[in-house]
Amino acid sequence: MNLDINQARLSAELAKLATFSEAPAPAVTRILYTKQDLEARAYFKGLCLEAGLELREDALGNTFVRWTGSDPDLPAVATGSHIDAIPHAGMYDGTVGVLGGLEAIRALKLAGFKPKRSIELILFTAEEPTRFGVGCLGSRVMSGVLDTNGLAKLKDSEGKTPDEARQEAGFSDNLADVRLTEGFYYAFVELHIEQMPQLEQKNIPIGMVTAIAAPATLHIALEGAGGHAGAVLMPERKDALVCGAEIAQTIESVALTTGSIDSVATVGIFDIHPRAVNSIPSKVFMTVDVRDTDLGRRDSMVEAIKDAVWTISAERKLKATVETLNADPPASCAREITEATELASREFGLRTLPMVSRAYHDALFMARICPTGMIFIPCKDGVSHRPDEYSKPEDIERGVKVLGSVLARLSQA
Mean of pLDDT over the chain: 97
User: How confident is the model over 119-131, as a mean pLDDT?
Assistant: 97
d(CA 162, CA 132) in angstroms, rounded, equals: 8
Residue 138, helix vs strand vs coil: helix
Q: Place domain 7-213+330-411 in its CATH homologous superfamily.
A: Zn peptidases (3.40.630.10)
Q: Domain map of the chain by residue range?
A: 7-213+330-411, 214-327
pLDDT the model gives residue 308: 98
255 with 205: CB under 8 angstroms? no
* All residues at 6 or more sequence positions from 28 whose CB lies less than 8 Å from its CB, including other chains: 18, 21, 85, 88, 89, 90, 91, 387
d(CA 250, CA 252) in angstroms, rounded, equals: 5
Strand partners, 66: 54, 120
Same fold, 7-213+330-411 and 214-327: no
363 with 188: CB under 8 angstroms? yes
Q: What is the pLDDT of residues 345-376, one digit of tens each?
A: 999 999 999 999 989 999 999 999 999 999 99
pLDDT the model gives residue 204: 98
pLDDT band at 2 (very low <50, low <70, confident <90, very high): confident
The CA-based angle 388-389-391, given to 5 degrees, is: 125
Could you tell me the sign of the dihedral formed by the alpha carbons of 89, 94, 99, 104, in that order? positive
Q: What is the pLDDT of residues 249-259, one digit of tens each?
A: 999 999 999 99
- The CB density around residue 167, as the number of other CB atoms within 10 Å, is 15
Q: What is the pLDDT of residues 177-186, one digit of tens each?
A: 999 999 999 9
Q: What is the DSSP pairing of strand 28-30 with strand 372-377?
A: unpaired
Going by the DSSP 8-state scheme, the letter that residue 262 receives in this structure is T
- On the question of pLDDT at 214 being above 90, the answer is no
Q: What is the CATH number of domain 214-327?
A: 3.30.70.360
* All residues at 6 or more sequence positions from 259 whose CB lies less than 8 Å from its CB, including other chains: none
Classify burial at 234, counting beta carbons within 10 Å of its beta carbon; exposed 0-12, middle 13-18, buried 19 or more. exposed
Q: What percent of the chain has pLDDT over 70?
A: 100
pLDDT band at 1 (very low <50, low <70, confident <90, very high): confident
Q: What is the pLDDT of residues 225-265, one digit of tens each?
A: 999 999 999 999 999 999 999 999 999 999 999 999 999 99
Q: What is the pLDDT of residues 49-90, one digit of tens each?
A: 999 999 999 999 999 999 999 999 999 999 999 999 999 999
39 with 20: CB under 8 angstroms? yes
